[in-house]
Structure formats: structure tokens, C-alpha cells
Structure 1
Amino acid sequence: MLTLLAFIVTLGLLVTVHEYGHYWVAKRCGVKVLTFSIGFGKPLLTWRRGETTWQLAMLPLGGYVRMLDERDGTVPASEAARAFNRQPPLKKIAVVVAGPLANLILACGLYWGLNAWGYDGIRAIAGQVVADSPAARAGLRSGDEILSVDGRATATWDQLFIALIDTAGSGTPVSLVVRTPGQGEHAVQLPPIAVAQIEPQLLGRLGLTAAPLSTRIANVAPGGAAARAGLQPGDRITALNGEPIGDWSVLQARIARLGGTEIRLTLARAGVLKTVTAVPDSVRHGARNIGRLGIAPAVDEARWAQHQVRLQFGPIEALLQGLDKAWTYTRLTLAMFWRMLADRTGLDQISGPLTIAVYAGESARAGLSVYIDFLALISLSLAVLNLLPIPLLDGGHLMYHTAELLTGRPVSARLEALGQRIGLLVLLGLMALALFNDFNRFIPG
């Protein structure tokens, strides 16, 4: 129910803001607005306000503003001057751009409010660095705080993610300034990051995780090597073959090299040390076999609490931070679309209503600040998507009206009709791909 409610609020708010942008500017340009609809299809609820019919329709996946237009039917001579098609190109452009601009303003406003109110973040500290990962080979270690990426400050884990995505695809090494406890600041270099889209798993692919992991066992896989040896949740592994172990990544790396070999583990259980023997299973991982015990680590709660930070800014700084974040995400979204067009990579990242609904529910459960951040990101995405030069979208209409501004005459009805058909095919294809990706993500089998 929370997922459904969050999805309805998300879509309803973003569509209403978008369409109201069109409506507000159209009214101020002297255009008569006949219908303001949230949703498509059969109206479920209608009411009259002034000369406009407002309605909620059956299919909530969008909305529209219908304006007086001579191309849609006969217009009385007394109202012809208020028809949209009679307006000069600049007014038409203003009306078209107003919808995406309203979504952009909403996103900036949400970011500004979030920054001014304050939100909880996670410091850009490597809670865990996976052995033999790109991060580990670059010299990063668990507990290192990443202060900047290519000169861009990274106070939080989210800022680190954005900065790394921003550098991805450049083909050049990525320079980090890192603070290691007890050693001060120093520079490290990650290899060039190849990424075709805004990839949520990027940090994990580099070998970085936010949560600091302990050598205390949280879960034991049934039937695995650890279960056969008698290991239990709550046990803390203190030594392997007599060598002290204080870091999960070290333990994981050593176990990986010992598949099929008997090992001695020293455990702390209920305050008592005991030694058990186990034979890690040898499992295929990529091109090689690795050892696996079948245990999952617990988070080091004391260290994790030290990674939490509360961020809050004054009104001006909050606005500047919000504008910078909106601009960065807009650039990244445009770059993602360009990469898709250039080499057709990242097509599996196109999402439909099911993905939006799931993420809306997850962000709502995570807290108000996370949901607001999600709402702002979707609003930005909606603004960028609508400005793509595809007929039927605002960007397609913008293309027509810009051509009219440059040539001095409207695009012919025949050319516009052809564009509409092409645009419909493109949008249907994108919708089919989005639904296909949704089902692949969330429907088993």
C-alpha cells in the first residue's frame, strides 16, 4: 500500500506541476485553455473553473492541457485570436517549454528545501574495500576517507557516487585525495572507469562499500562449509590458521585462496575462545575457483555510527547546492541518452512505471528526505525526457515552433502528421523496452 501511495503521489505531483506550467504560461500568453487533465482516457471526476474544464482521468500515466486550436475544429471568429495556432512562434515556444521548466523548478526547489531543512548522510569513508578490486589495487583501504575526486569535494557517499559517475567514460585515470587514519592525506589513482549509464552498482564494481563490516557472523548458509563446521550467527572470527584477523576483507581474501583446503578458525563465542576446523567449498567464480565458507558478516555498528553525518546549509548555500545538484544530474542524464544513441549501451537502464513505483515505495520507507530526493530526481528526468526532439513530446513541438520562427511559416500539416506517426512509433518502442526491463528486474522466471 505504501508503494502504491508513493507512486500515486509521485506521478500525480509531477504530472500536475508539468501540466500546470503549460497552463499558467498559456493563460498569460492569451491562449484559451479548454481542458486540464491529469491522466488519459475516460474522465472519472470533472469540475469547471472559469473557462477551463479540470478533470481526473482513468489512466494516470500522464496528463495534458488542451488549448483552443483551429486545427482541432471550427473556432468562432470572436475567439480566433486566442487560438494556440494563431500565436506568434515565441509564445508557442514559451508555452511548450513551460512544462519541462516547471519540473526543473520543482526539482531545484525540492533540493533547496532539503538542503535548508537538513538531511542525514554517510561520510565518504570506505567501510570495506574488496580484496583484489580496482579500489584495492589503487591503494585504498578500509577506513580511508575520500575527500575529493578529480578536485571535486566529496563530503558524503552520495557526492562520491555522483563525482565518480561524472568522470566515468572519459578514458583517463581518476585522481582521488584520500585521508588514511593515522597517516594523513595522500593521492591515489583509480584506473579509467568505463560506464555507459548512471549505474547504481558502480561503487560496488570498484570494490567499495559504505558499511564497515566486522568479522562477526550475521548469517550462516545452510549446508555450506561453515554450517558443516558448526559455525553460528554471533560467532566472531579472530584468527585464521593462527594468524590474527581483524578485517572482513582480509578474511574474505584468504578464504578465497583456500578452497578445498582444511583451515583452523579461532572463534569468540559468548566470551569464550574456541578453535574449529573447516574446509571451504571450492566454487567457480569467473575464470577461476575460489574458496567459500558460506557466511555473511555483520556491520560494525560502532564504526558505522561514526560514518553518519547531518548536513544542513543556510538559505543561499542551500540554493547553490541545489542548483549544482540539479545541473549535475541534468548533465548526467543527457550524457546517458547520448551514450545510448552513440553505441546503444545502457538500454537496460530505461525504466517504466513498475520501476518508478518500486523505487518510490523504497524511498518512502527510507524516510521523508530520501523520498524528496527521489522526487526531485524523477522531476529532473521528466523535464529532460520531455525536451528530447521526439514528435508528441514537448521537444518535438519545440522543434516545430523553432522551425516556424526561423522560416516565418508554420510546419505543414502533412509534415507534422508524419512526425506524429514517427514519434508515436518511437514512444511505443521506448514504452515496450521500459516495460520489458521492468519485468526483467522484478518478475521472477
Structure 2
Amino acid sequence: MKLIQTILAFLVALGTLVTIHEFGHYLAARLCGVKVLRFSVGMGKVIFSRRLGKDQTEWAISMLPLGGYVKMLDIREQSETPIPKEDLPREFCRQSVWKRIIIVAAGPFANFLLAIMLYAALFIHGIPEPIAKIRVPSTNSIAYEAGLRHGDQILSINGLAVQSWSEAQWELIQRALAKGTAELIVERRASEAPNGKVDRVVDLPLQQLSGKDLEGDFLSKLGFSLSRPPAVLGEILPGGPAQLAGLQQGDRVLAINDVSVLDGLAFTEMVSASPGIPLKLHILRSRAEFDIVATPVPEVFGGSKVGRLKVQMMLAPEMTVVKTGVVASVVKAAQKTWDTSLMSFKMLGKMLVGEVSLKNVTGPLTIADYAGQTSRTGVISYLSFMALISISLGVMNLLPIPVLDGGHLLYYSLEVLTGKPVSERFGEIAQRAGLALLMAMMAVAFFNDIVRLMS
């Protein structure tokens, strides 16, 4: 069932995004007076079609669901059938270079517009997200040396207010790409303060990160992560080591073998690393502190032997709902789409110069996997995924590679500068080179996908 859901989620997402992209081309062509012969959802053989409108445009569904296209009246594709004289003014190549630019750019623009609409709808509805409270497990880290402490809540980064963990991550990775220092204002518990909290300013030196550090969980390279709840025991499973040792639901574990337990995640890690080894747990129960010895039972998990006390532990972070008004949501969505697009171009640039590994290039298998995961998580996650992939599709199509929209925009830009279109011979050579480059990128993406799935 998971496989079927993953395939359906992938096809719905990709089909929707490609259709929106091609519909952008279609609308722009109609507005610029170009005759559209066919609008196809899918590629390959047409399995259903219907002609509509004054121009009798063929609206078609084709066999392969991965893709789509808009076929316009184009003299380059009408070599066998002459174009009727009355239709010549509506032929694509006879349009001004600016109209051709508008038609070609309308596809990626439609993807960016869709992302803005999806993000705006999500911000208006409200998105449940973890608060920007941090976990600093080690005193020997960049984060600790900069002044961050466990339990600090990030309020702003370089003057920009932060409501959630994802917003904090986003601002930090942008500052890291710029090789700068991030000024964090954090809220910290302080018993001496009137309200028990005090604000601190921390300068986090992100320039210490290399390009390869930005791959994966870059915040762990700085020495902090998302905060987790204290190590308070949940349900005690019957007959397990925890029950046999006398542990009770609601007990808080302060230390294991005289080593302080930072939170529930640290407790889980320490227990997992001690299969069959007696552990001295220092417990807080109803204001009383005492020690209990419990021995984790060994279990095989993921090919390795781990320890289990047979007790549930709450690891879910503290949540908030990020919600804004209509106008503010549209502005925020537009800014997020712009920032995401810019970051994508920056990452591509760093790949070209070797600062970031090509392992970050993903293909359809990884996208399908994420589509399935987000669809199982819920509508909000799935729509957020669609918005992100829509931006990626727009960015990909703007790359100056022949056969992509960006390649055509490059041709037309040269035409604007020189006053004449590029030669057919140059166009043919560039098309072949662009196709070869695109196939190479797809091969890298498929290879990375397979490696990820196997690992």
C-alpha cells in the first residue's frame, strides 16, 4: 500500500506541476496572439483528445504521465504542411523577440506563482511547527563557544523575527552560504530575572563551515540541534526491565551512571548503547531523588545490538502554529519563494566550482520517495512539498541549457543584444550539447537516488 501511495502521490504532484508550467506557456501564447495547436498532459501517444475554441486547439491526454507540452504554430515544425496565409501573423517565429521571451518565461513563472499561492494558503491556514528552541549537547562545540546554551530559544536572526525551527534553519543556511556571522537574539531561562527569562545576543560564526558542511544536517556541525523534552518516562511496558526495576510513569531521569541526562533523546541514546549492562538511574519522583539500577534487555535493530528498557519516552519537540493574515501571508510566501529560488541557484553555483558535492543532485526516485512520505504525514506536509518542487521545477527550467526554457531565453537575449537571431547551425549544435548535458545530469541524479535508497 505504501508503494501505491508513493506512486500516486508522485504522479499527482508531478502531473499538477507540469500542467501548471505548460498552462503558463499556453496563456502567454494566447495573450501574445500565437496560435496553439495542442495542449497535452503527458508525453508520447495521445490516448484521448478533444478540440475546443475558435482555433480548435486539441486538448489531449497522452500515454506517459511524466511531462506535458504545448504545441504552437511554428514554421520550423511545419516543413511538410504549408501554413495558411491567414495564420502566418500568428506563427511563433514571426512574433517580436520580447513576445517570445514572455511566452518562454511564462512556464517557470507559473511554477513560482503556484508556489506563492500554496505557501500563502498554508500561512493563512496555519502550519504546526517546532519552536526554535535549541539543544546543545556538548561544551566543546562552535555553538557553545559562541555563547549558545541548551534550552535557548531563538527570537531573531540578524534582525529578522523567527517563529519556528524551520525559519531558524532557513535563515542560518542562507547566512552560511554567504560565509557570514549570524547575530542571534535568544531567550534564556534566568532565575534572577523578574519573569524568569532574559534575552542574550550571540554572534554565531557561520564562516567556519565549509561547503561540504552544508550538506545534510549542517547545524550539527555547529554543535546544536532541535530541543527535546526532559527525560520523563511515559508508559512502562509490562514485564520489561523498567517495570522489574521499579520505575514508574512520570519519573524523570536526571543522570545515568553519574552522567547528567540532557533530555529524552540523550536517555534513549545512552540506554541503546548499553545492551545487557546494568545502569544506575538517578530518578526524580515527586520532589524525592533516589537511585534505581535497571539493565536494558538486548535487541537486534538495524543489524546491530541495542539496549531497551521497555518504556516509552516522549521525544516530540514543543510546537507552535505559524499563522499570519492574508496580506502578510502573500508577502511572506513571495519572499520565501524568492529566497528558495536564490538559494537553489547559489547551491548550483557551488556545485559547479566544487564547493558542494554533486551528491546533492536528486532525481525522480528521491522526489517520489518524499512525495510518499509527505502524503502519509498529512495535507500540510504534502502541499509544502509541492510548493518546494514547483520552485525547483521553475529554477531547473531557467538554467541556460539548450532544450530547456532557460536555453531559449539565452538565445533571445543574444538576439536582443545583437539585433538578429542565432543561426540555425549554432542552434542545432547547442541543442545537441544541451541534450547531452541534460542526460548527464539525469544520470547523476539517478545514481544518487539509487545510492540513497540502498543506504
TM-score band by shorter chain is: 0.7 to 0.9
Which letter maps to 2:281?
L
Task: Tell me whether 1:64 sits opposite 2:50 in the alignment.
Answer: no
Preserved CA contact (<8 Å) 1:130 1:136: no
Matches within 5 A, 1:43-442: 43-50=46-53, 51-74=56-79, 75-78=82-85, 79-126=87-134, 128-131=135-138, 132-182=140-190, 183-192=197-206, 193-195=209-211, 199-216=215-232, 237-241=253-257, 245=261, 247=263, 264-266=280-282, 275-276=292-293, 298-299=313-314, 304=317, 307-343=318-354, 345-442=356-453
- State the SS of the aligned residue for 1:430: helix
Residues 241 and 102 of structure 1: CA distance in aligned 2, closer, same or farther (over 3 Å): closer
Aligned to 1:287: none
Structure 2 counterpart SS, 1:410: coil
- Aligned pair count reads 423
Distance 2:336 2:265 in 1: 33
Question: Contact 1:169 / 1:194 at 8 angstroms: preserved in 2?
Answer: no
TM-score (norm 2): 0.82
Asked whether the equivalents of residues 246 and 292 of structure 2 are also in contact (C-alpha less than 8 Å), the reply is no
Report the alpha carbon displacement of residue 249 of structure 1 after superposing the two structures with TM: 7.5
The answer as to whether partners of 2:11 and 2:66 remain within 8 angstroms in 1 is no
Aligned-pair CA distance for 1:172: 3.4
Where 1:237 maps in the other structure, the secondary structure is strand
- What SS does structure 1 have at the residue aligned with 2:77? coil
Counterparts of 1:443 and 1:233 in 2: how far apart (Å)?
A: 40
The equivalent of 2:19 in structure 1 is 16
CA RMSD of aligned residues (A): 3.7
Deviation of the 1:39 alpha carbon = 2.0
1:48-99 deviation per Cα after TM superposition (whole angstroms, max 9, x unaligned): 2232222222222222111111111243241222211111111111110110
Identity fraction in percent: 38
Deviates more, 1:154-163 or 1:58-67: 58-67
Could you tell me how far apart the structure 2 residues matched to 1:175 and 1:3 are? 41
Secondary structure of the 1:360 match is: helix
For the residues of structure 2 that align with 1:83 and 1:377, how far apart are their CA atoms?
35
Change (3 A) 1:361 1:255: closer
Q: 2: CA distance between counterparts of 1:130 and 1:142?
A: 7
CA shift for structure 1 position 251: 6.7
Partner secondary structure for residue 116 of structure 1: helix
SS in 2 for 1:175: strand
Q: How far apart, CA to CA, are the structure 1 residues paired with 2:284 and 2:262?
A: 12
| Partner amino acid, structure 2, of 1:276 | V
Counterpart Cα distance in 2 of 1:98 and 1:153: 33
Question: How far apart, CA to CA, are the structure 2 residues paired with 1:185 and 1:69?
Answer: 64
Shift of 1:255: 9.8
Distance 1:95-1:253 versus aligned 2 partners, 3 A rule: closer
Q: Which runs of 5+ in 1 are unaligned?
A: 220-225, 282-291
Does the CA contact (< 8 Å) of 1:34 and 1:68 recur in 2?
yes
2-structure distance, mates of 1:155, 1:418: 51
Amino acid at match of 2:62: A
Alpha-carbon distance, 1:423 to partner: 0.6
**Structure 1 102/277 Cα, relative in aligned 2: closer, same or farther at 3 Å?**
closer
In the alignment, the residues of structure 2 paired with residue 233 and residue 419 of structure 1 have an alpha-carbon distance, to the nearest angstrom, of 71
- CA separation of 1:179/1:255 partners in 2, compared to 1, >3 Å: closer, same or farther? same
Contact 2:264 2:315 in 1 (8 A): no
Aligned partner of 2:314: which letter?
V
Secondary structure at the counterpart of residue 371 of structure 2: helix
Shift of 1:399: 1.0
Q: 1:286: which partner in 2?
A: none
What's the CA shift string for 1:199-229, capped at 9, x where partnerless? 452234433333514335789xxxxxx99x9
Unaligned runs of 5+ in 2: 191-196, 236-240, 299-305
**Structure 1: distance between partners of 2:401 and 2:160:** 35
In the alignment, structure 1 residue 35 sits paired with structure 2 residue 44: no
Distance 1:413 1:18 in 2: 27
Question: Structure 1 247/25 Cα, relative in aligned 2: closer, same or farther at 3 Å?
Answer: closer
Displacement after TM superposition at 1:300 (Å): 5.2
Distance 1:300 1:364, change over 3 A: closer
Check 1:203–1:102 CA distance in 2 against 1; reply closer, same or farther (3 A cut).
Answer: same
TM-score, normalised via structure 1 length: 0.83
Contact 2:361 2:445 in 1 (8 A): yes
| 1:7-46 superposed Cα distances (whole Å, 9 cap, x missing partner) | 1111111101100110111112111111212222222322
CA distance in 2, matches of 1:174, 1:297: 37
Q: Distance in 2 between matches of 1:406 and 1:241?
A: 73
The AA in structure 2 aligned to 1:191 is P
SS state at 2:110 partner: helix
